[in-house]
Amino acid sequence: KAGVTQTPRYLIKTRGQQVTLSCSPISGHRSVSWYQQTPGQGLQFLFEYFSETQRNKGNFPGRFSGRQFSNSRSEMNVSTLELGDSALYLCASSWVSPGTNNEQFFGPGTRLTVL
Amino acid sequence: AQSVTQLDSQVPVFEEAPVELRCNYSSSVSVYLFWYVQYPNQGLQLLLKYLSGSTLVKGINGFEAEFNKSQTSFHLRKPSVHISDTAEYFCAVTYRGSNYKLTFGKGTLLTVNP
C-alpha cells in the first residue's frame, strides 16, 4: 500500500507570491490534516479535512487555506507569502478521525523556503 | 485548552544506555496520547499510543511508555538505545472535545553516541 505522498518536496518562493502544496492520502483514508513545522514553533496544526469539508482549523491567518477533493486528495494554499512562512509542511491521513484508534500516517513533507 | 510539555529539548546518551524522554500534558478531560519519531528529512512515524486500558504501552523498535494520570505524564523509555535511534521524538495529545486535533510538544532530539 502506498504511503502518503506530498508534492513538491522542495519549493523556493519569494515574498508576496502564493504557493499550492499537494497531498495524496493513503488509499481509503478520508481524513487529511496539515501541519506546519518550524524550529521555533514546532509542529502546529493548520486544518483537517474530511469528505471535502473542513472539520477543524488551527490558529493561522486567512492566508492559509485548503481544500479536499472527492478522491480525498488535498491541497493547501498560502497567499502573499512572508519570510516566516518558511517551514516544513506535513500532511497526515487517517481512516476516519485522527487521534483515536485511527493512526495518522504522515507524508515526508514539503520544504518551503521564502526568500 | 490542552498542551504538551517535553521537558528536555536535547538528550545525549551513549549507545546501549537506557533512555527516558519526558512528556507532561495538561487537560481537564480524558486524553489520548502518542509518541512519534522523526528521522532527518522524513515525516513522522508513530512509535506508540495510549487510548485506554493498560497504562504501560509497548511500541515499535523496543520503545515503551507509561501513562500516569495522577502526574499527567507519558514518558517514553527504552532500556538500551542504538545509534539508529538518533532522531527527534514528539509527544502528542488529543481528546474527544478537540475534534481529535493533535497537539504536539516541541520535540526532544535524542542523540546516541558510540
pLDDT single digits (tens) B29-73: 778 899 999 998 888 999 999 988 888 999 999 999 999 989 999
Q: Which residues of B touch A42 (CB under 8 A)?
A: 90, 104-107
- For chain A, first and last CA: distance in Å? 37
pLDDT for A2 beyond 90: no
pLDDT for B13 beyond 90: yes
Reported as a pLDDT band with limits 50, 70 and 90, residue B91 is very high
pLDDT for B19 beyond 90: yes
pLDDT for A1 beyond 70: no
Share of chain A above pLDDT 70, in %: 93
Nearest-Cα distance to chain B for A33, in Å, is 9
Q: Which residues of B touch A106 (CB under 8 A)?
A: 36, 43-45
pLDDT for A100 beyond 80: no
pLDDT computed for residue B53 by the predictor: 84
Burial class (CB within 10 angstroms; exposed 0-12, middle 13-18, buried 19+) of A39: exposed
* E-only strand ranges, A5-109: 5-7, 10-13, 19-24, 31-38, 42-50, 53-57, 64-68, 74-78, 87-94, 105-106
Q: Which amino acid is at A79?
A: S
**Interchain contact, B44 vs A90, CB within 8 Å:** yes
pLDDT for B95 beyond 80: no
- In this structure, is the dihedral angle defined by the CA atoms of residues B79, B87, B76 and B6, taken in order, positive or negative? positive
Q: Average pLDDT, stretch A37-55?
A: 91
Closest Cα in chain A to B99: A56
pLDDT computed for residue A99 by the predictor: 58
**Interchain contact, B94 vs A58, CB within 8 Å:** no
Nearest-Cα distance to chain A for B105, in Å, is 7
Q: Average pLDDT, stretch A89-115?
A: 85
Q: Which residues of B touch A104 (CB under 8 A)?
A: 46, 102
Regarding beta strands A87-94 and A31-38, do their DSSP bridges make them parallel or antiparallel, or are they unpaired?
Answer: antiparallel
Torsion angle of C-alpha atoms A45, B92, A43, B37, degrees rounded to 10: -130
**Interchain contact, A56 vs B101, CB within 8 Å:** yes
Q: Which amino acid is at B99?
A: N
Q: Are A89 and A37 in contact (CB under 8 A)?
A: yes
Report the alpha-carbon distance of residue B42 to residue A107 in Å, rounded.
8
Regarding beta strands A74-78 and A64-68, do their DSSP bridges make them parallel or antiparallel, or are they unpaired?
Answer: antiparallel
Reported as a pLDDT band with limits 50, 70 and 90, residue A40 is confident
Share of chain A above pLDDT 90, in %: 77
Report the alpha-carbon distance of residue A106 to residue A43 in Å, rounded.
12
Q: Average pLDDT, stretch B65-82?
A: 95
